[in-house]
Amino acid sequence: SSNKLLIKGGTVVNAHHQQIADVYVEDGIIVAVNPTIAVGDDVYVIDATGKFVMPGGIDPHTHLEMEFMNTVAVDDFFSGQAAALAGGTTMHIDFVIPTNGSLTAGFEAYEKKAKKSCMDYGFHMAITKWDETVSREMELMVKEKGINSFKFFMAYKGSLMISDELLLEGFKKCKSLGALAMVHAENGDAVYEGQKKMIELGITGPEGHALSRPAVLEGEATARAIRLADFVNTPLYVVHVMSIDAMEEVAKARKSGQRVIGEPVLSGLALDDSWLWHPDFDTAAKYVMSPPIRKQGHDKALQAALSTGVLQLVGTDHCVFNSTQKAFGIDDFRKIPNGVNGIEERMRVVWDIMVESGQISVTDYVRLTSTECARIFNIYPKKGAILPGSDADIIILNPNSSFDITAKSHHSRVDTNVYEGRKGKVSTFIVSLVQMVYCTARTSIKS
């Protein structure tokens, strides 16, 4: 019957080991991984000879259907996940945004958005203000909803940003709950000044976005968050490390033994800011995200940091807006909705820039696209491994195939693609088949 599957003859890759083996799956769970597994003819067999059999990608950082900057991100939990599956990612972790400051209402709203899901997902939660209610609700989220990571915004003054005083309260609460504190690290007050300055100077185009919030402001906030986490003695996860400045702060802290995790995102690893200076507004605006994509050089330095273990896992910050939405900022870059695509491109582009280029091994690739995320967010080895008992979130990666990225054929709903025209020689497949056939609702993973 259709609930039994054998993947034969591939190179099975886990984060620390690879071997040629067969993988036998029943009801969406891996039952056996052995050099040779004999099965009856009621089992569907896939030949993976010459290919890699890996745990599906886990994207630790997405924003599906996010209400942000007076609009809503166009990929929802169906289209964003369909894009993810098409690109070899089988799970993602999204950020619940509180509704008018209420964590409970925010959680309910995201549970509703996530009803459209076609793959497994998890939630972090953003904390955007602080009072006794928020503090109590955090406890509720941890104890009853399974949320174990909270993100604090040090930027977006006037909306999401919280002060150092409240950041400290939040870190202390995370510590007492055993939850992981995460930060969006940019100095929001300085960004606000930078933006005003650019507008005063008459720089209203997308390049003003980069000029108004330079890497030094990311470095400053990263250093501050790291020191405050040290002061409170709680681990810290820095989301979207986009610059050498921020990366070096993470490196220094880790070297001293502090528990700091640094997450680069695909756009920071694979792009530079040159498009932001393109004279055509639509072309430039699609690259606007925060923190900004940096000058050439930061990308290569972040890749190197990933290859040496200074940074640990790759996210995307997938948060997509159509050209019509980006055009809200045609006269003022401050109104361009922030965000770029990546959930569909992450696995292939990371393979291309990190494995094809010789910077990391195939086992490292599995670690930083899947296993490390599963470990950090407490879902390993159910996720992030090809082991007996693990979920059959399996991809077959063909290193001798090809990809050619274009908005014309991608699965996301967004009408542009920041990787437009990028080509490489890898493909992933059967994820969607395995997922569609075997993925069942697993409530422990959902939240």
Note the residues at the interface with ligand DUC (CB under 6 A): 63, 68, 184, 289-290, 317, 319, 338-339
The DSSP secondary-structure symbol of 102 reads: B
C-beta of 73 vs 177, nearer to ligand DUC: 73
DSSP state letter for 216: H
- Options 137, 186, 207, 317; binder of Zn ion; rule CB under 5 A: 317
> By three-state DSSP, how is residue 93 classified?
strand
Q: 52 forms bridges with which residues in the sheet?
A: 11, 397
Angle between helix 79-86 and 431-438 (nearest 10): 130
Residues in the chain: 447
> Which residue's CB comes closest to ligand DUC?
289
Quick one: 63 or 410, whose CB is closer to ligand DUC? 63
Please tell me the count of residues contacting Zn ion according to CB under 5 A. Answer: 5
68 vs 333 by CB, closer to ligand DUC: 68
Residue 29 CA to residue 382 CA, distance in Å, equals 9
Which option in Zn ion, ligand DUC, none does residue 120 bind, with CB closer than 5 to 8 A by kind? Zn ion
Where does this chain touch Zn ion (CB under 5 A) — which range of 117-125, 139-147, 168-176, 405-413?
117-125
Q: Pairing between strand 67-68 and 71-72?
A: antiparallel
Only segment of 12-20, 33-41, 220-228, 314-322 that touches Zn ion (CB under 5 A): 314-322
Q: Which is nearer to ligand DUC, 124 or 184 (CB)?
A: 184
Cβ proximity to ligand DUC: between 322 and 363 the closer is: 322
Question: Apex CA 353: angle with CA 348 and CA 357, to 5°?
Answer: 120
In the complex, least distance from residue 289 CB atom to ligand DUC, rounded to whole angstroms: 3
Complex with ligand DUC: residue 24 or 156, whichever CB lies closer: 156
Query: Which of ligand DUC, Zn ion, none is residue 439 near (CB under 5 to 8 Å by kind)?
Result: Zn ion
Stretch that binds Zn ion, among 142-150, 176-184, 209-217, 346-354 (CB under 5 A): 176-184
Q: For the chain, what percentages of helix, strand and coil (3-state, to nearest 5) are there?
A: 40, 20, 40
Say how many C-beta atoms besides its own lie within 10 A of residue 1's C-beta: 7
**What is the closest distance, in whole angstroms, from the C-beta atom of residue 317 to ligand DUC in the complex?**
6
What's the burial of 335, exposed, middle or buried (CB within 10 Å: 0-12/13-18/19+)? middle
Q: Which of ligand DUC, Zn ion, none has residue 215 at its interface (CB below 5 to 8 Å by kind)?
A: none
Tell me the window of 6-14, 15-23, 44-52, 439-447 that interacts with Zn ion (CB under 5 A).
439-447
CB of 240 to Zn ion, least distance (A): 6
3-class SS of residue 61? strand
Axis-axis angle for helices 215-232, 244-255 (nearest 10): 20
Pick between residue 427 and residue 432 the one whose CB is nearest to Zn ion.
Answer: 432
Would you count residue 184 as binding Zn ion (CB under 5 A)?
yes
Closer by beta carbon to ligand DUC, 205 or else 268: 268
**How far apart are CB 273 and ligand DUC at their closest, in Å?**
14
For residue 289, the partner it binds in Zn ion, ligand DUC, none, with Cβ less than 5 to 8 A by kind, is ligand DUC
Calpha distance 372→314 (Å, rounded): 9
β partners of residue 237: 182, 261
Buried b (16+ CB within 10 A) or exposed e, 87-116: bbbbbbbbbbbbeeeebbebbebbeebbee
> Which of ligand DUC, Zn ion, none binds 315 (CB below 5-8 Å, type-dependent)?
none
Task: Name the residue with the smallest CB distance to Zn ion.
Answer: 184
Which residues make Cβ contacts (< 8 Å) with residue 163, sequence separation at least 6?
A: none
Minimum distance from residue 338 beta carbon to ligand DUC (Å): 3
Nearer to Zn ion, 33 or 154 (CB): 154
Tell me the C-alpha distance between 423 and 146, whole Å: 40
Q: Does 120 bind Zn ion (CB under 5 A)?
A: yes
Using CB atoms within 10 A of its CB, is residue 332 exposed (0-12), middle (13-18) or buried (19+)?
middle
